Structure formats: structure tokens, C-alpha cells
Chains A and B, each alone.
Chain A
Amino acid sequence: MKIKNLSFIFGVSVTVFAVSCTKQEQLGPEIKSATKDFKFVQELTVTKTEFKNLTDKPDFVAKFNEDVSWKLRLIGLIPEGDKLVPSGAEQIFTGLSDGFDGNIIDWDARSNNIQFFRFNQKVATELTITGIREKFYGDTFTLRYAIPYHNVMYNGIKHIIVDGFENVLTAANPFGCLDILGKGKSTDANDSDIDFDRVNVRAVNGNFCYKMRGKDDNRNSWSGDIYSEFSFNFYRNAPNINALLIDSGISPTDLYFNLFIYGQGSNSSGVQIKILEIDSKKGSNTEDIKSRKDLFDFTRPDNDNKYDKTKNDGWIYNITVNWQGWKLVSIPYSEFKSAPDPLAGGNGDRKKESWRICGASLSLLSEPPGNLNEVYLDMFTITQNGKFQF
């Protein structure tokens, strides 16, 4: 083949390529640097010192003498010693205009990362202008509002808080962690360095998270758990059957268990989530909770009914916590396997039925056995039709 032929093929290919390529005006959103004449007409201001509720929020206002790309960053602060340091929570707004105000920036106290903005938290404001190295700061304000996550819908996904580990019963956290800490803590007496407790460092939301630490001396891979066997609170607040938290007929593939876990980068740490279903009433060997009405009646506050884990189903999922820092883990119920021990949840009807869920436990595992492990947990939630939204 001659060079002339090669040239022909090359020419045809270039032409075909040029014609076939996708053409667009530009890629991504438009951005523009400040010119050397850039000036503030109005410096960054925050109109209120407190953010109390969604109908009375502070406005963020700034005005420039030219159109420019800008980025407003809201930074959550927490005290450390006598200083305020970033908590990790932040929200960013960007635009290309000659300024912004409350009509452009509408903030609902949501963070754009894994750290939540917290109630009573100081929030700093930082403005950057494209092309200018210097950063500009506005007023710091106090957040006296927290986004509700219990029994609310975000993006078509229903959120239910199982435990926020705040140890207080509030509208946003109706279960607190009273059931878990007050009644349901069990640790391995043959292990050492056991520390299972609520701690006020490192939380992703609120002031507290839950610390699990233990050295698996007896090499049984288990150092302890916190549990809420048949937490009637889960249903007691429901005034009627329709208000039961987990919807009837929700598929196990659409029901997610979400847990924020802080890992230490270990290769041996694990957390087991165990979900308990109720099939039978105490002392019964038959599946005598047959409907949501049975469940509703059985869990009325004036009843003193008890849960019998030897007659019911438990479903487990083990998470290997091999990362460092916080991570949100969301597991669909369909991924859970049946618990093997018939005395601890392995003796129900072996049918996975989301509406029967009535309790949960969280365990610290060591795999391989024998190691010292430490994890932190926060915001244990159930979501329907999708993963936790933050």
C-alpha cells in the first residue's frame, strides 16, 4: 500500500471524526473571574444573628460592581478548648452574578457532607470570588434549628430514626437511647478494655454518638452489643394503625438500615446489625401476630406484653469497618441473613416481613478474632424506598 493511500484513509478518518463529534457551546456551568476593577458594592452581611426556624431564616447578602463567579461557604463551628474550630459541616452556594440575597440563597440548615449542622451551633460565612486569592468573611450566626429526620419524607424517601444516641426524647428523636442504654447493653465479661458508652466527641449529628471498644480476649469474635428488643416505643407513639412507622407491604429491597460508623482503619473491626421481627406473642409457639392490627394491639402502652426472642426471627448483616473516619452505611433489608442461634432470633417463621420489624441490636465484632477494636456509631435510621438522604 502506498503512502498516497494511507493519506487518503487518514483524510477520510479525520473528516468522519470531525463530523461525528458531539458539539456543545461549553462544558459545565459558566464561570467568570473578577477583573482588576472588581469592587464590593455591599460587603457580605448576614441579616440575623440566629436561625430559629424555616420561616424566619437569616438572609445572606452581598453586592458587586460586575458579574463574577462567587462561592458562599457556610461553615459549622464547634468549641475546642477556648477556640472555635470547623466541625466538618458545611454548605456551599455558587453563582455567576453581581451579587446575591435571600431570594437567591435559600438554606434549610442542610450540610453537603457527612457532618450535620447541629442545634445551637455557631456558623461562619466565607465568600470567595473567582480570580481573587483573598477570602471575605461575613458575620457568624447561631443555628437554633435542626433538620427533622424522624417520620419525614425527603426526595420521596421516608426517614425513621431508630436511635440518634442523644439520650433525650424529643420530637426529632422519639426513642432517644433510653431503651438501649438503660436496658439493653451486654458486653463480653471475658474480654478486656471494654468501653461501651455514649460520648460527646466526634458525633456526626447532635452532641453525642456511641462508642464501642473492646479486646476480644476469648476469641469468640464478639465484644458486646447494645439492643432494643421489641422497643415498644417504636410503635407506642402511633395513635392508629395507619401511623405505624414502617409501611405495610414495603419490600425488603426497598427498606434500608442506615448507620453512620466511624472506623479507625483497622482490618479486624466489624459491626453487626441485627433486626428483630415479631411473629409470636410471649409464650406462644405459633405465628399469632398475623396482622398490623395484632401488632398494634399487642404494643399498646397499657399492655405489658414482652418480646420472646426464642420464638421470633432475627436477621443479621455484618459490616467490616476497615475505613478511617465516618462513613454512612446503608444496607437493604433484603441483604440480611437469618440469625443462626435459635435462642437469639433464629427461631421464627424464617419469612422476612418488613412490617413485623420491632427491634434491633448493634454488636462489636472482631474478625479475625482476638483483636482490640474501636468504632463509633451515630444516627441509626430506617428509610423506605431509598437510602438515607443528607
Chain B
Amino acid sequence: MKYKNKFLASAIALGLGLTANAQNNNFTINGLGRSIISQNDLGGNITKDDNSYQQSGTAGYNLFDLQTNLNVDSNFQAMAILRAKSPFGALFGQGTTFDFRQFAMMGKIGGFKYEIGDIRVQLSPYTVYNNDVIPGRTFENALFSMRREIIEYENFNLGNTWLLQGLAGQHFFKFNEEGKGLGIYAFTSRNVPTNDGGIPDRLLSGGNVELRLSKGLKLGINAVSMYDVSPFGAQFKYLNNVGTGYISYFKETSSMYLQARFEGGMSGYKFTENPNTPSAVDSAYNDGFVDVDARLGLKNAKIKIDANFRSVGVLFSSPSAQTRRINENAQMSMFTFLSTPQIGLIRQQLLFDRFTSEDIYNSQITPNLMAFLPYYNNTNPYGKATPNRIGGELGVSTDTSNHVLDASVKGSYFTEVQGEGGIAKRQFLLVNGGANVHLGKMLDITRIFDINFGARYENTSRTQGALVDLNSTLIDAGLTFELVKKLDFLVGMKSFTAKGNEFTTNRNGFNAIDGFDEFFIDINEMIYSAGIRARFNKHQMFTLNYNFTDMKNNDKYLASSSYNFGQVFLHYRGIF
């Protein structure tokens, strides 16, 4: 109760105080309210003979994010998001939490822009970049993308930015009115706090300098460093530097445009144990990458053609570009165990979990390469900065001027730069594509009538030494139809199959490979979803749908581990 009172008092005081003191200022509030209730049931072979663990449950929460925005003048603005969240079924506020979810101050002094507090940072895919490495988002039904949006909001994922706590500043020195000039951007943030003992502060700092030679030609450098600020008696000292240079070129005519970008750079890693002693031990390595991107846009045909070549060294290390936003080792809150906790048979993450479970996401930049499940994405598990890859991509897609059809197809072929566990190299083939067809617009009817379909096929192979042959296929299909005004019927399906063998890589604390574990897989996961969506207005929405996920294990040694779960999902979201 005390917390509630404090929260209400703070909110009122903040509002009144700012209103009183900021009569000439611009004070606004906005926010988001969300309510989620889900009823989940576990079934299938694995539950047949054993009901000693949780096989059914109701979950959910109500939350309200109040964002206060103060705009004193161009020199100073501030933003704070206060969150009240209560678990579903909490009586009289028990279990309700009140937090400051986000806080930032920003402004512009002369031509210098600054941000302090929670800042969003993104540079290039090799320096600071929060990769979306979960397949199947482009051509899925709104029932699934809505779930992703919840997860992304809850985990502070916005585009490819990382949300960091620190400060940033930027300035553009304009040389002339035609756009020539020099832009400078720098940031610093704290990634890990010191314990005032043997654990040092770990900071992430970096920036960008870009020279605009003309409207279509830019040269620039990116730099980012993750480093320890060692207190006296620190047990270790970590340093990782990445520096890149790039050239960006753009040319446009009435019928086409050409974009080209080259980026290349190096990374340096150094870890020192007992840095303040004569027996200090260093582990260090360097490596680099090159990347060439090109896009040709054909305006009359309303298509664009993309090509990319890249080579990333085996020891290229860039934590703020290679950290994954999903943690493969995290446990889901729903049906964590497929046995009693004592036996500890932990349920493996399914595709369904990867876009519905808030608990498996990661928002912390990690110095070591995180584990990944190869059958979900083996070609680029760490995005473009995935080490030990050389190859290219070629894609064709519709451009944004095409309002009836949104379609693309892309093929990728990569190999390892050096073999793992032998001189033979893995080869990766990835093809994905699909379409969102806006039939309503095509047929010139006012109601929403969309169909979507997509497919993704990935093959990994190694034909000598330790043999690898892993195939995975993801198929998406769905339909959205506006039954009556602002009331939609939606149905979606995902089919994921994975079959073959592969090796997961064990790495030590210095990112070096020290072992492999072979696994065999033969699974088929089907996800069906159907429901209705009421769009009260542009900002308010209610969805009721039923999801059924059937995980079939075809491996003869693991056939009894097949299971399914059904989920009734209610979701209300209001933005103001």
C-alpha cells in the first residue's frame, strides 16, 4: 500500500509541480495500457503417464506505462516512463510493482544535440547493432506479429537499437547548403557496474564521424570500445575495440536508383587476468571483415534488387553487434519442466516460445558469443557480424510504392572461413521469401482482406571429417478479413520442420572453441492460430484468439517426448 501511495503521490506531484512551474513550458503525457490473460494446457505423449508436474495454468498481467514529457525549450527536454504492473488475479494490489521504466533528458545547445539517461544507440551491423535473428517475421499473420510486438516492447527492442544507460552527443558541421559537411556522434554507457571489489565497471563507448562530400557520397568511420575501468585489486581487465571505415554512394535517375556501401574494419580483443600483479596474463587476438552492399531500384517495375558480399574473420569480436536478443538457455515461464523439477527435464524452446515468451529475451550486451540453436538460424546467428563466414546474398523485392503486393525472395550462400573441428568447412544455403497480398486493395474494397504466405529453407552441410547435414523449413500462411467495420477475423499457421545432425560449439571465456556436441534432430512443430481483433480506434485494440502448438518428435529415441499445448489468449492494448 505504501508503494501505491508513493507512486500516486509522485505522479500527482510530478504533474502538478510541472504544471505549476512550467506554465510556459510544454508538458505532455502519453502512455500505454495493456492487459493480457492466457489459459494454457499441456498435452500429448509426454503427459500420458505422468501428471506430477504442471500441465495447466492461467497467467497474465495488467500494466500501465505513463510517459511524462517535459519540453522546457530546445535546450532541455525530459522524458520518464512510470510503470504500474500487477499480475493477473492479484487482489487489492498485492504483488503490484511500480517502477521507473525509462528515463532520459535531452536537448540541443546551439547545433549540439545531447541525450542523458536511457539512450538508444545504433551504428553499423559490425559495431553497434541489435540483430533480429528470429526467422519468419516478414510474412506472418498479424496474430503472430502482435505477439512479437508485445515482446519487443517489454524487452526495449526498437528496430536494431540497443537501449543503454549513459550519454550521447552529436553535432553536424555544415560546409555549404548542398549538404556537404561533417557529422560527429559519440556515446558512452555503463554495461556492468562494479561491486567495489574485484569486479570492475564495464563501459561501452563509441561513435561515428561522417564526411558528406556530396548529396550521394559519404565517407565515415565507426568506433566502439567495450572496456573495464579497473578498481584497485581488480581480478581481471577486459578490452574489446572495433574500428571500421565505410563509403556510401547513392545515385538516382528518373527510372532507377543505385545505392552502394562498403564497410571494412578490424577488432581487437584483450583479456588480462590479475592486471595489477607481476603475474598478469593476457589473452589477445585481432581479426577483421569486409562488407559490400548494393541495391538497384527499378522505379517503373517497382522492384529493387539487393546484393551483398561479406567476409567476417574467425576471431572478429564485436559484442555490441554480436550479442543476441534471445537467450537460448533461458527458461520459459510457461511449462518450464516436462517432468518434476527434481528430475529436471527442461522443455526446449519452441518456435512458438520464441515469439511469445517474454522471459527468454536478452537486453544486456555480453562479451562472449551467446549459444544458439542451429536449426533456427545457422547461417547468420549473430547477424551480419557472425564470425567465420564468407559468402553473399542476392534478393529481389517489391518497393514501398507497391501498395497491393509486398513480396520478396532472397538467397544466401556462405561457407566458413576456417573449418571447425577439422579443415573441412561447413556450407550454408538459405532461401527465404514470401508475400503479403492486400486483396482488399487489389479488389478495390474498403475492408481489410489480406493473405500472407512465406517460406524459409536452410541447409547446412559438411561433407568431410565430422559430417553435417541439417535442414530446416519454415512455412507461414495466414488470412486477415474485416468481417464488419473494425472487427477482423484472423487465422494463421506456421509449420517448422528440422531434420539432420549438427554440432553445437562450446566456447571458453575468451570466445575460443574448446569442444563440440553433436545433436540429431527430427522435429515437426505446427502452430495454428485463429481469432478476432476489434480495433476500437487507431490506438485501442482487443484480440481474442486460440493458439494450438503441436510439437512432434520423429526421432525414434525421443518419440515419447512429443507434446502439444493449447492457449486461449486475450489481449487489450490502449495507447494514448
Interface residue stretch chosen among B123-131, B428-436, B509-517: B509-517
Contact A9 B247 (CB under 8 A): yes
Binds B, one of A30-38, A101-109, A165-173, A272-280: A30-38
Scan A1-22; emit 1 where CB is below 8 A from any B CB, else 0. 1010010011001101100111
- Check A26/B418 contact, CB under 8 A, given A17-B288, A133-B557: yes
Task: Pick the most buried of B288, B315, B388, B422: most chain A CB atoms within 10 A of its CB.
Answer: B422
> A201 is contacted by which of B342, B512, B515, B518 (Cβ under 8 Å)?
B342
Check A69 against B195 for contact (C-beta < 8 Å). no
Docked pose: A24 CA to B245 CA in angstroms? 26
Q: Which residues of A contact B288 (CB under 8 A)?
A: 17, 20-21
Contact of A29 among B262, B342, B514 (CB under 8 A): B514
Q: Annotate A330-351 by CB proximity to B: 1 below 8 A, 0 otherwise.
A: 0010110000000000000000
Looking at the assembled complex, report how far the CB atom of B175 sits from the nearest CB atom of chain A, in whole angstroms: 16
A202 to B344: give the CA distance in the assembly, Å: 11
Chain A minimum-CB-distance residue to B507: A28
Residue pair A33, B465 in contact (C-beta under 8 Å): yes
Kindly identify which residue among A17, A69, A253, A335 contacts B264, using a CB–CB cutoff of 8 Å: A17
The residue on B at minimum CB distance from A370 is B94
Nearest Cβ on chain A to B384's Cβ, whole angstroms: 15
Name, among A22, A128, A131, A135, the residue most crowded by chain B CB atoms within 10 Å (CB to CB).
Answer: A22
B466 at the interface (CB under 8 A from A): yes
Contact A6 B344 (CB under 8 A): no
Q: List 27 A-B contacts (CB under 8 A).
A: A1-B213, A3-B249, A6-B249, A6-B260, A6-B262, A17-B288, A17-B290, A21-B313, A21-B417, A22-B285, A23-B418, A24-B314, A26-B423, A27-B421, A28-B420, A28-B513, A28-B515, A31-B465, A31-B466, A33-B466, A94-B515, A128-B518, A131-B501, A202-B342, A324-B336, A332-B198, A335-B197
Using CB atoms, name the residue of chain A closest to B466. A31
Residues of A within 8 A of B557 (CB): 133-135
Q: Smallest Cβ distance from B258 to chain A, in angstroms?
A: 10
Give the size range of B's interface with the partner.
35 or more
A134 and B286 alpha carbons, distance in the complex (Å): 41
Cα-based distance from A6 to B218 in the complex (angstroms): 11
A-to-B contact residues, CB < 8 Å: 1, 3, 6, 9-10, 13-14, 16-17, 20-33, 69, 80, 85-86, 88, 94, 128, 130-131, 133-135, 201-202, 253, 324-325, 332, 334-335
Q: Beta-carbon contacts of B509-533 to A below 8 Å, as 1s and 0s? A: 0001111101010000000000000
| Residue on A nearest B262 in the bound complex, by CB | A10
- Chain A residues within 8 Å of B91, by CB: none
Please determine whether B290 and A14 come into contact, CB atoms closer than 8 angstroms. yes
* Chain B residues closer than 8 Å to A24, beta-carbon distance: 314, 418
Q: Smallest distance from the beta carbon of A26 to chain B beta carbons, Å?
A: 5
| Pairwise interchain contact A131-B197, C-beta atoms closer than 8 A | no
Chain B hits for A10, CB < 8 A: 262, 292
Residues in B whose Cβ lies below 8 Å from that of A22: 285-287, 313-315
Minimum-distance CB pairs A-B, first 6:
A28-B513, A31-B421, A31-B466, A13-B264, A33-B467, A27-B420
> Least Cβ distance of A238 to chain B in Å?
30
- Chain B, residue nearest A326 (CB): B344
Which B residues between 292 and 317 are near A, CB-CB below 8 angstroms?
292, 311, 313-315
Contact B233–A253 (Cβ < 8 Å) = yes
